[in-house]
Amino acid sequence: MKFFNEFERKFNQYAIPNLMYYIVILYAVGLAVFVVNPVMYWSIYGNYLCLDGRAILHGQIWRVVTFLIYPPSFGSFRFTTVFMGIIALFMYHSLGQTLENIWGSFRFNVFFFMGMLAQALACILGYLVFRQNWMLTTGFLNSSIFLAFAMYFPDAQFLLFFVLPVKAKWLAVAECALYLYSFVFGSAADRCELVVSLANVLVFFLMTRNYRKYAPKEIKRKRDFKKEAKILPKGSTRHRCAVCGRTELDGDELEFRYCTKCEGDYEYCQDHLYTHKHVTKDE
């Protein structure tokens, strides 16, 4: 959209390059604290760092950022948590860096920060509307990154269980199926988090698309250009006067126009454009 392009030109200099690198550092900090002392992690995260609609409305704005200290993978055992967590960190860093290389730093910043603000907004609405303190994590936020990646690289392969190669588009379909299950059978918090996460992907793509190519004038311009650029057989012509039969090969000074009063595609040279007899269906 035009407004987003102008917004990008104005604020592009403030974009944070390699944003996913710093996000992964926050994930790693949360993972390290959890592995060392899970009880302390949940105590600190739940009381001071997680998204809490009531706390945010009472001035604890830092929670909009600190809730990111939640690694993408938690397991039942510490070894599983460390192993899967490290793999997840590398994977999301790679996905985020790839999207930044495609979009540029500014657009990736907008995409990720929109997701963060959407999560915070969902948490605040949960408190104001349902009077519940929802603990929203980074799960759907990370999923939105994967879905955006799958839209650009549907045939990219991932090793499921480190053995089975599966294309990104099929993993995205499976993930959307899980989303649907969570939406139908999950809690109100799950539904709200799901909606805002998917809305982030949808709004971003709608906001950054170039709709000019769908405008009627642009479609007509491209059609006319293809018609004019079409390679003609040797000896054929593009223009021919319907009265005298002259073509552009009869002189460089000749000009040809279509008559708007004639019913049909009748073209005339400058000598007969205003002097010819108009053609109607009755004739």
The span from the CA of 119 to the CA of 67, in Å, is 10
Residue 74 confidence (pLDDT): 54
Listed in order, strand segments (DSSP E) in the chain are 157-160, 164-167, 256-258, 267-269
**Cβ neighbours for 82, distance < 8 A, ≥ 6 positions apart:** 31, 35
Give this prediction's pTM. Answer: 0.66
The span from the CA of 227 to the CA of 229, in Å, is 6
* Residue-range domains of the chain with CATH: 2-212 (1.20.1540.10), 233-283 (no CATH)
The span from the CA of 81 to the CA of 77, in Å, is 6
Tens digits of pLDDT across the chain (283 residues): 666 777 778 888 888 899 999 998 988 888 888 888 888 888 888 888 888 888 888 888 888 888 888 887 654 445 456 777 788 888 888 888 888 888 888 888 988 888 888 888 888 888 888 777 777 777 778 888 888 888 888 888 887 766 788 888 888 888 888 878 877 777 776 777 677 767 777 777 776 666 555 556 656 666 666 665 555 566 667 788 888 888 888 887 888 888 878 887 788 888 888 788 888 766 5
Residue 219 confidence (pLDDT): 61
Where do we find the tokens 């006067």?
A: 241
